[in-house]
Structure 1
Amino acid sequence: MSSDVIVHTENLGKCYEIYDRPKDRLLQMLARGRKQYFREFWALRNISLEIRRGENVGIVGHNGSGKSTLLQLLAGTLNQTTGTVSVSGRVAALLELGSGFNPEYSGRENVKMYAQLLGMSDEQIDERFDRIVDFSEIGDFIDQPLKTYSSGMYVRLAFSVAVHVNPEILIVDEALSVGDAFFQAKCMALLKKLMDDGVTLLFVSHDPGAVKALCSRAVLLDHGSMLANGDTESVVETYYAQYVQRRQSIAVSDGKVRVTDAAADKAAAIAEDAESEAAFKSRSSYQRLQNGMAEYVNVTLLDSRGRPARSADFGEQVTLRVKIRVQRDLPRLSFGYHIKDKNGFDIVYSDSGIEQCNIESPRAGSVHVVDWTFRARLKEGEYTVAAVLAVPVDLSIGLVETCDHVPIACQFRIDRAGHLPIYGATAWDNKVTVIEVQTPPLLERV
């Protein structure tokens, strides 16, 4: 086995004994192998897999396909029935909700106990404890028993410990779906940083978009067997094909992005909303980059009536309103936005260069309001808006001077609202033509 192979399995299998009646367990024990009183259920069978150091591998499959069983075998929390498994390096696993935690202990006690189980010394734990608590956003609850925590608090604390122990292999099993959208965005940003630092990631998710966003390779499991193992795109396409075979649907598309100019009369008509701007300042602070030349004062989503909205129906016309303050005289100012799904994967993008509406020669102290109006034809789910301000320098080579980059400027949800689900990330206008090229003859009545 190559030295850079960090996970190796050969003909790995896990079989469970299923007893139809409680007394069959006793009969099986007394039979001493002469007779079988149980049925065999193979959760995994003949899994041979190699994962190299620094690889990011997604594991996909429908419910009951064996994904969680495989991760538990790799994490060492479950023993295999057949085959071999070899894992090299420090493993941090985020499996079932609250696994490794004691609900009777406080958050502080559980952090220390869990970190010790992952191989950290008392000195290392003390050094990183504040960072763990800050990232988890538990606050004063850190000294309360875990049994008083919500499921989201459980996940935030467990994830924060797992990623701060400097793991060589990080195993994540659907746990992030419990957290809120803001925390999911933080987690995705940190996961990408860990991957850039060479951490090996094994990631299970029912969301193919998450797998595409994080993983360069994927494995498809079905009824305990490995159906596909290769690049993420091809494996996810196979997974989608399976899904479509089980649930057929039709998606109808229609939508358009429109930008309106921030005219002075419109800006004057927009009332100052100190509470909304304070909320924006608070949520926008995470990983925000500024150079003091221009900044976003507020970013909000408005419904079709111009009211602030936290959610929108599929296909509803909405407006993304951004308020910009210029802090220095500038030759030109460009602005743009990204709409990202809950995994941080870019779904929609536009900027003032594309729409040909840069702000020319803005003066220090000027304030501008820009409305991006579009129909929200996005797949049902949670979304985050990232906003960017920049001074163009040399667009022929993509050189700009970033004034303000806000990774989490606004968040909203898209609801299906009676429409059939769509299986792509978004939908757009289509012109559809149907022509009947052959008409069958009418059958004569006998």
Structure 2
Amino acid sequence: MSSNEYAIQINNVDKCYQVYESPARRLKQFIMPRIEQKLGKTPSVYHEDFWALKDVSFELPKGQTMGIVGRNGSGKSTLLQIIAGTLSPSSGSVNVNGRVAALLELGAGFNADFTGRENVYLNASLLGLSHEETEDKLDDILSFADIGHFIDSPVRAYSSGMLVRLAFAVQAQIDPEILIVDEALAVGDAKFQAKCFARLKKLKQDGTSILFVSHATEQIVTHCDRALLLDGGVVQAQGQPRDIVNRYLDILFGKKKTADSERDEINKQLEIAVAGEKQLAVRESVAKNASAEKLPLFSHLNGLYDKRPNYNPSEYRWGDRSAELVDFYLEQEGESYPSNISPKKEILFSFRVVFNNMIVRPIFGFAVKTKEGVTIYNTNSEWQSIDTLDAGMPGKDAVITVTLPVMLFEGDYFVSVGIASSSTEGEIIPHDRRYDSIHLAIGPVKTFTGLADLNARIKFETE
């Protein structure tokens, strides 16, 4: 693609801040290096470099929406400010093709002493609109903001919700070529958020390019064409939203624990287990309605999970592997690993877990998502107060079964499963999480549309 086909091109962008321990060291940095240089000495450095961004590169084609995810402090806001032009990069190039409207910090660009109406004209002029153009759009802006008579009150009296309503109304109603939204919608209520996303959809259809930052992963997979993961100021990955969200959850929930902390946690759990009044033993829990002869036969060898039909080779797997999900079985109406799942009929899942370390009160998680990554159903054994194992011992294994009716609309869905436990501090420790590891193809349905069958009953009555 030529450069004219991109709304934004970021090439090897760095942003470095000089951090001083005290004002005195800042003053020394201003004076001493010059004196030392004149004396022929090596200039001293009185600050530390903090790299908010390091070698960031990506491209956003015109008309597309890119989601940016990352932990707090990962550099997301810094990157957006550089793109919006309110910060300059330390190095690298930023090429922005089009008029940019940005919702960055709450209330940014507003004069607290001006009324909402006056701030509309102020913001519009900063975005390049004339007074006449703003007049033409004023009714649409006020209608979208929907803050009533407060439009003629100083914005210092506004709540955070009113501020974001007015700010989004201005930015979104001027038909920008590039729109940047940095978590601004998080403070709006559900009704306003729905209106905002409808407007974003309309802008995208009209050719607006959108950069969207949110901690709500469902919003990223629903509204974005691509996604980018930042961590520590570095681009960790970019690609399909579902894949990037999985990587983000990996980072967010602590995959990278050190070996020492893992060993300490195991020792703590062992002390708890041994100190009990009775010996903890492994108990295999099977669903009450599944008879012994229905229990599928598994090989005790590792590695069969990815050899089974319905396995998705594009799964995302992570965890410390203190316990591993090594095999699974799928059955509906006596058919093993069905290629086409019949709707409104029960389906049986079975999973074999092998324990490599002692795990106290293991937690099994189960989720179903659309192919776009939207979670339809998510549960775990702890939420359901299921009678699971007291402890999983090294070298032992267990079988977990899940039975549920298929109440989904026709299409492709993915099952995510995981085994975890709680630390002594209450933190969830992921041992083996296999996101989107099982593919389900649901057959045609004629009684409803949407995602799930809510089993509605329609009744007519006559007098």
**Range class of TM-score, shorter chain:** 0.5 to 0.7
Matched, 1:197 2:209: no
Contact 1:94 1:158 in 2 (8 A): yes
| Equivalent position of 1:74 in the other structure | 83
In 1: Cα distance, 2:171 partner to 2:116 partner:
14
| Equivalent position of 1:350 in the other structure | 453
Question: When the two structures are superposed, what TM-score results if normalisation uses the length of structure 1?
Answer: 0.58
| Equivalent position of 2:31 in the other structure | 30
| Local SS of the residue matching 2:142 | helix
Structure 1 portions without partners, runs of 5+: 260-333, 339-347, 368-446
Of 96, 113, 120, the match for 2:105: 96
Alignment of 1:270-309 (within 5 A): none
Structure 2 portions without partners, runs of 5+: 35-42, 258-318, 320-362, 365-379, 385-402, 408-445
| Equivalent position of 2:230 in the other structure | 221
| Local SS of the residue matching 2:120 | helix
In 2: Cα distance, 1:336 partner to 1:173 partner:
37
Alignment of 1:362-373 (within 5 A): 362=460
| Local SS of the residue matching 1:350 | coil
Shift of 1:35: 2.0
Residue deviations 1:90-125, cap 9 Å, x none?
100000001111101110110000011111111110
Percentage identity across paired residues of the two chains: 45
| Equivalent position of 2:374 in the other structure | none
Shift of 1:243: 2.4
Equivalent residue letter for 1:7: I
Matched, 1:105 2:114: yes
In 2: Cα distance, 1:109 partner to 1:356 partner:
50
In 2: Cα distance, 1:69 partner to 1:245 partner:
24
Alignment of 1:41-440 (within 5 A): 41-245=50-254, 251-252=380-381, 349-350=452-453, 355=455, 357-359=457-459, 362=460
| Equivalent position of 1:19 in the other structure | 20
| Local SS of the residue matching 1:83 | strand
Equivalent residue letter for 2:240: D
Shift of 1:350: 2.4
Question: When the two structures are superposed, what TM-score results if normalisation uses the length of structure 2?
Answer: 0.56
Equivalent residue letter for 2:90: T
| Local SS of the residue matching 1:70 | helix
Equivalent residue letter for 1:187: C
In 1: Cα distance, 2:76 partner to 2:204 partner:
21
Residue deviations 1:370-395, cap 9 Å, x none?
xxxxxxxxxxxxxxxxxxxxxxxxxx
Shift of 1:198: 1.5
How many residue pairs get aligned? The number is 277
Change (3 A) 1:349 1:149: same
In 2: Cα distance, 1:40 partner to 1:53 partner:
35
In 2: Cα distance, 1:176 partner to 1:123 partner:
29
In 2: Cα distance, 1:210 partner to 1:31 partner:
51
Shift of 1:84: 0.8
Contact 1:24 1:37 in 2 (8 A): yes
In 2: Cα distance, 1:31 partner to 1:11 partner:
32
Residue deviations 1:379-436, cap 9 Å, x none?
xxxxxxxxxxxxxxxxxxxxxxxxxxxxxxxxxxxxxxxxxxxxxxxxxxxxxxxxxx
| Equivalent position of 1:6 in the other structure | 7
In 2: Cα distance, 1:188 partner to 1:356 partner:
28
In 2: Cα distance, 1:101 partner to 1:82 partner:
30
Residue deviations 1:5-50, cap 9 Å, x none?
1111111010111110111111111124622111110000101111
Contact 1:335 1:358 in 2 (8 A): no
Contact 2:8 2:61 in 1 (8 A): yes
In 2: Cα distance, 1:181 partner to 1:356 partner:
24
Equivalent residue letter for 1:243: L
| Local SS of the residue matching 1:198 | coil
Contact 1:11 1:47 in 2 (8 A): yes
- Superposition RMSD in Å: 2.6
Shift of 1:86: 0.8
